[in-house]
C-alpha cells in the first residue's frame, strides 16, 4: 500500500454549520440507494450535533429550502436530478452551499460519453467506446470493439441498465435495456483484469486520493445486487496490488478528478488490464454512496477518518460556484 498521510478529523463547530438539509430520495432510478445513503448521513450529522433535517425533493419543492432558511445542503441524491448538475444549479440560485462538485463538473461527470471524450483529449486512458442510437449501431460497435463488450446507459449509475455482451445476438436486448433508461447508449470495450475504485477528497491542488479498494465480486459480476445488498462481494483495502500500482492509480484518479473540475469529493472506478497491468478509467461518481456497503467510507476509514468525521468534513467543505449575495424570499422587502 502506498504511504498515506493519515486524515485528521477537522475541528468543526456544528453550530456554525447552521440549518442543514440532507437531500435524499429524489426521482432517479437510484432512489432506494439514495434513501439509504441519506439516512446514514443524517444520523451521523445529528450525532455530531448538527441541526440536520431530511429533505426529499420527490416529496417537497426545492424552493422550500430557501423558504425555510436552510444554510447548507448535503447532497445524498444519486443519479439524475441529483448529481447531474440540476440540483446543484437550483442551490446556486438559492445561494445555499452544497457538498460535492459544482454545476458543470457534476453535469459532465454524469455523462459517461462526455467524460470519456474529455479524458481521451487530455491523454488519460479510458477503454475504447462507441455511442449508439440503434440495434444496428450496437452490432457494428460489437464488430469494432470485440467481445466481451459493455452496453450501458450513458447517464445512469449503479450499473443500472448494464449488460455484458459476449455475442452479436445479445446486442439487440442489451441496447433495448440500456435505452429504457437513457436515449444515449454507450458501448464500451471490456477490460479483463482487476476492478478497483479510488475516492478523492478536497479540491484543486489540495485534493487527496484515498486508499485504493480492490473489488472481488461473485463470478466477477459487480452488479446492482452485489454492490448494495450482497455480503459475498469482497473489498480489499489494503488493495494488495503489485508494488507501485496503487500510487499510479491514485495519481491517475487525481488527474481525472482535476481535469473535470471536481471538488469536495468523488470516487473513480478503474479497471487494470490483466495482461499489461495498465489502468483504464471507467467513470467518476461525484455523489458517491454512503450506505453500509459504500466504498468512500471504507477507504476513508482505512486512512483514519470514520464515517461521522467524514460526513462532517464533507459538510464543512460545502461551497457554491458563484458565492454572490442572494436575496431569499421574504428578505429585502
What is the arithmetic mean of pLDDT over 104-116? 96
Residue 49 clears pLDDT 70, i.e. is over it = yes
Residue 79 clears pLDDT 70, i.e. is over it = yes
The predicted-structure confidence for 133-192, as pLDDT tens digits, reads as follows 999 999 999 999 999 999 999 998 767 899 999 999 999 999 999 999 999 999 999 999
Catalytic residue ranges: 30, 158, 228, 267, 269, 283, 285, 289
Say what the pLDDT of residue 225 is: 55
Burial class (CB in 10 A: 0-12, 13-18, 19+), 186: buried
The predicted-structure confidence for 231-243, as pLDDT tens digits, reads as follows 778 999 999 998 8
Say what the pLDDT of residue 325 is: 63
Residue 18 clears pLDDT 70, i.e. is over it = yes
The predicted-structure confidence for 203-223, as pLDDT tens digits, reads as follows 999 999 999 999 997 765 545
Say what the pLDDT of residue 221 is: 58
Say what the pLDDT of residue 223 is: 52
Residue 332 clears pLDDT 50, i.e. is over it = no
What is the arithmetic mean of pLDDT over 251-255? 98
Say what the pLDDT of residue 158 is: 60
Say what the pLDDT of residue 280 is: 98
Output the pTM of the full model.
Answer: 0.90
Q: Which residues, other chains included, contact 28 with Cβ-Cβ below 8 Å and sequence gap of 6+? A: 34, 77, 78, 79, 80, 81, 82
* Higher pLDDT pick, 73 / 27: 73
152 backbone dihedrals φ, ψ, rounded to 5°: -155, 160
Which among 253, 146, 153 is positioned nearest to 196, based on CA atoms?
Answer: 253
pLDDT, averaged across the chain? 91
Asked which of 22-36, 66-80, 191-205, 230-244 is least confident by mean pLDDT, the reply is 230-244
What is the arithmetic mean of pLDDT over 41-57? 98
Residue 224 clears pLDDT 80, i.e. is over it = no
Say what the pLDDT of residue 2 is: 45
Q: Report percent pLDDT > 90 for the chain.
A: 82
HEC string for the chain: CCCCCCCCCCCCCHHHHCEEEEECCCCCCCHHHHHHHHHHHHHHHHHCCCEEEEECCCCCCCCHHHHCCCCEEEECCCCCCCCCCHHHHHHHHHCCCECCCCHHHHHHHHCHHHHHHHHHHCCCCCCCEEEECCHHHHHHHHHHHCCCEEEEECCCCCCCCCEEECCHHHHHHHHHHHHHHCCCEEEEECCCEEEEEEEEECCHHHCEECCCEEEECHHHCCCHHHHHCCCCCEEECCCCCCCCHHHHHHHHHHHHHHHCCCCCEEEEEEEEECCCCCEEEEEEECCCCCCCCCHHHHHHHHCCCCHHHHHHHHHHCCECCCCCCCCCCCCCC
Say what the pLDDT of residue 219 is: 63
Amino acid at each position: 500500500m502506498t504511504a498515506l498521510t493519515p486524515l485528521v478529523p477537522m475541528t468543526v463547530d456544528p453550530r456554525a454549520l447552521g440549518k442543514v438539509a440532507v437531500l435524499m430520495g429524489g426521482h432517479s432510478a437510484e432512489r432506494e440507494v439514495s434513501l439509504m445513503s441519506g439516512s446514514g448521513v443524517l444520523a451521523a450529522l445529528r450525532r455530531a450535533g448538527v441541526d440536520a433535517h431530511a429533505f426529499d425533493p420527490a416529496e417537497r419543492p426545492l424552493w422550500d429550502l430557501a423558504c425555510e432558511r436552510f444554510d447548507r445542503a448535503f447532497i445524498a441524491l444519486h443519479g439524475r436530478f441529483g448529481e447531474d448538475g440540476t440540483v446543484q444549479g437550483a442551490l446556486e440560485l438559492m445561494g445555499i452551499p452544497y457538498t460535492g462538485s459544482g454545476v458543470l463538473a457534476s453535469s459532465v461527470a454524469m455523462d459517461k460519453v462526455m467524460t470519456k471524450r474529455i479524458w481521451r483529449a487530455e491523454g488519460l486512458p479510458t477503454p475504447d467506446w462507441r455511442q449508439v442510437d440503434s440495434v444496428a449501431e450496437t452490432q457494428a460497435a460489437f464488430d469494432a470493439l470485440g467481445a466481451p463488450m459493455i452496453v450501458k446507459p450513458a447517464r445512469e449509475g449503479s450499473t443500472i441498465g448494464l449488460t455484458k455482451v459476449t455475442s452479436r445476438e445479445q446486442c439487440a436486448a442489451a441496447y433495448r435495456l440500456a435505452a429504457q433508461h437513457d436515449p444515449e447508449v454507450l458501448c464500451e470495450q471490456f477490460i479483463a483484469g482487476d476492478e478497483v475504485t479510488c475516492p478523492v477528497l478536497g479540491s484543486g491542488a489540495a485534493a487527496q486520493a484515498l486508499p485504493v479498494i480492490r473489488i472481488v465480486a461473485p463470478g466477477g459480476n459487480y452488479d446492482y445486487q452485489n454492490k448494495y445488498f450482497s455480503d459475498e462481494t469482497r473489498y480489499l483495502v489494503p488493495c494488495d496490488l503489485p508494488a507501485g500500482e496503487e500510487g499510479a492509480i491514485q495519481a491517475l484518479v487525481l488527474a481525472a478528478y482535476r481535469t473535470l473540475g471536481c471538488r469536495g469529493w468523488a470516487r473513480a472506478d478503474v479497471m487494470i488490464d490483466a495482461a499489461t497491468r495498465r489502468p483504464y478509467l471507467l467513470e467518476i461518481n461525484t455523489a458517491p454512496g454512503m450506505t453500509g456497503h459504500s466504498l468512500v467510507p471504507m477507504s476513508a476509514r482505512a486512512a483514519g477518518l470514520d464515517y461521522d468525521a467524514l460526513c462532517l468534513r464533507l459538510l464543512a467543505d460545502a461551497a457554491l460556484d458563484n458565492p454572490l449575495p442572494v436575496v431569499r424570499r421574504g428578505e429585502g422587502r
